[in-house]
Amino acid sequence: MPAPNLFLIGVRETQAATAFYSDLFEIEPTFTSPHYVAFDVAPGVLLALWTGYAEHSVPSTPRMSEIGLMVP
């Protein structure tokens, strides 16, 4: 069975979250756009930040994350 290889975190501010995870893991993003940023954290494994959740959530809503399997 394939292992999860995409870890997606919903964030409110892409720039602040990118700086946080860049500093935390001492890595730079491999892909950036206004609403999506990806980091290669291991061969074939991505940690991604996405602002799509922010427009639908309120501060009292629990934060969401996703784990996925990218297929060729």
Domain layout of the chain by residue ranges: 6-56
18-57, pLDDT tens digit by residue? Answer: 999 999 999 999 999 999 999 999 998 999 999 875 555 6
CATH of 6-56, one of 3.30.2010.10, 3.40.50.20, 3.40.50.150, 3.30.720.120: 3.30.720.120
9 pLDDT band, cuts 50/70/90, is: confident
Distance CA 6, CA 8 (A): 6
Nearest to 69, CA basis, from 20, 15, 1: 1
Model pTM score: 0.73
Mean pLDDT of 60-64: 62
- Longest distance between any two alpha carbons in the chain, whole Å: 37
